[in-house]
């Protein structure tokens, strides 16, 4: 095993130790392969993470070893690495989390054995006011992917009726995510309540396919759950272009709405996404162009008397 190499990430050189360490044993992919993947999609991953507190899912020994969820940037980080401080009132603690502003920040994290990037849906300008609403289409164990596709189409219809542009991506697993830029005017609870109102409307239009039942034990295992709780404070999901820590090295990949009927999430991997990115560019490139209002959704929540379950339940 070679001891180290250096890669150029934008304006910075980043030292990569143990570049030949196997990270994905089933595919024979190394730490350096992971570095080269993130360099290839650099503009996309930086756009997805830019200025957001970011939790790192690290695999110090590759997928064959344990996963570490890391919030705090460790001592000894390079001086050019940026962080953002977030607080955890329940525990009276805080953490200085990675705050990506450039490709080198991403590559430093990979050097620190990060495979997955899980950003907040707010930015450091005001970490308590989200600017991203996340629609998580989460299939229950017996839910087919065709049903996920159908749910996405209904979600698209509701967004169109609201005059809102959503940007879909694969989850890297069996689900789909849709991201919407919103004005940073509402706190987490309000965004979550708006997301609940949206989920209820999707369920109303497709009651045989979709559920918003909160308790997992009470959900139909064949239905699609619209998980509004992914908008709660300090809840994170893998970003666009994040590799997932699974043997197939799938990637949470932006897709066009027109691709949803035929696209198979298993086809988007660390091996295939760089060529797709080179060919299509970042399909979320315009996501920051327009920020939308949640006023109508909050009116729906009031109209329907919707109340949130306690966080953590």
Give the pLDDT confidence of 164-176 residue by residue, as tens digits. 999 999 999 999 9
Residues contacting 309, CB < 8 A, separation 6+: 214, 229
Phi-psi group of 161: left, alpha or beta (phi > 0 → left; psi -120 to 50 → alpha; rest → beta): alpha
Kindly indicate the confidence band of residue 3, based on its pLDDT and cuts at 50, 70 and 90: confident
pLDDT tens, position by position, 63-104: 999 999 999 999 899 999 999 999 988 778 999 999 999 999
Q: How far is CA 140 from the centre of its chain?
A: 19
* pLDDT given at position 146: 97
Per-residue DSSP letter, 131: S
Residue 61 has pLDDT above 70, yes or no: yes
Q: Is 175 helix (H, G, I), strand (E, B) or coil?
A: coil
Residue 244 has pLDDT above 90, yes or no: yes
pTM of the model: 0.96
Report the distance separating Cα 225 and Cα 222, nearest Å.
10
Q: Encoding tokens for residue 34? A: 């992971």
Report the distance separating Cα 111 and Cα 116, nearest Å.
12
Which neighbouring-strand residues pair with 156? none
Residue 214 has pLDDT above 90, yes or no: no
Share of the chain above pLDDT 90, in %: 92
Report the distance separating Cα 164 and Cα 296, nearest Å.
11
Query: DSSP per residue over 211-233, as a string?
Result: E--SSGGGS-TTSEEEEGGGGST
Report the distance separating Cα 113 and Cα 308, nearest Å.
37
- Enclosing H/E stretch for 4: strand 4-9
Which neighbouring-strand residues pair with 95? 86
Residue 227 has pLDDT above 90, yes or no: yes
């Amino acid at each position: 095993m070679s001891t180290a190499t250096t890669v150029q990430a934008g304006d910075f050189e980043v030292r990569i130790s143990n570049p030949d360490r196997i990270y994905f044993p089933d595919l024979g992919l190394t730490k350096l392969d992971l570095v080269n993947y993130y360099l290839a999609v650099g503009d996309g991953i930086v756009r997805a993470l830019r200025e957001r507190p970011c939790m790192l899912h690290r695999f110090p020994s590759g997928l064959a070893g344990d996963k570490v969820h890391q919030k705090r940037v460790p001592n000894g980080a390079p001086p050019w690495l940026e962080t953002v401080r977030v607080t955890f009132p329940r525990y009276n603690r805080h953490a200085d989390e990675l705050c990506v502003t450039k490709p080198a920040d991403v590559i430093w994290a990979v050097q620190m054995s990060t495979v997955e990037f899980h950003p907040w849906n707010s930015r450091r300008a005001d970490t308590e006011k989200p600017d991203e609403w996340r629609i998580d289409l989460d299939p229950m164990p017996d839910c087919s992917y065709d049903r996920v596709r159908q749910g996405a189409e209904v979600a698209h219809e509701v967004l169109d009726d609201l005059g809102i542009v959503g940007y879909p991506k694969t989850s890297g697993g069996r689900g789909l995510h849709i991201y919407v830029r919103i004005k940073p005017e509402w706190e987490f609870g309000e965004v979550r309540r708006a997301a609940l109102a949206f989920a209820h409307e999707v369920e109303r239009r497709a009651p045989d396919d979709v559920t918003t039942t909160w308790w997992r034990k009470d959900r139909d295992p064949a239905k699609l759950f619209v998980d509004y709780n992914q908008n709660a404070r300090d809840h994170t999901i893998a970003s666009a272009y994040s590799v997932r820590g699974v043997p197939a090295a799938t990637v949470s990949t932006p897709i066009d709405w027109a691709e949803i009927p035929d696209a198979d999430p298993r086809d988007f991997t660390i091996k295939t996404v760089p060529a797709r990115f080179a060919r299509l560019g970042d399909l979320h490139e315009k996501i920051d162009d327009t920020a939308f209002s949640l006023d109508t959704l909050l009116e729906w929540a009031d109209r329907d008397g919707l109340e949130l379950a306690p966080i953590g339940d």
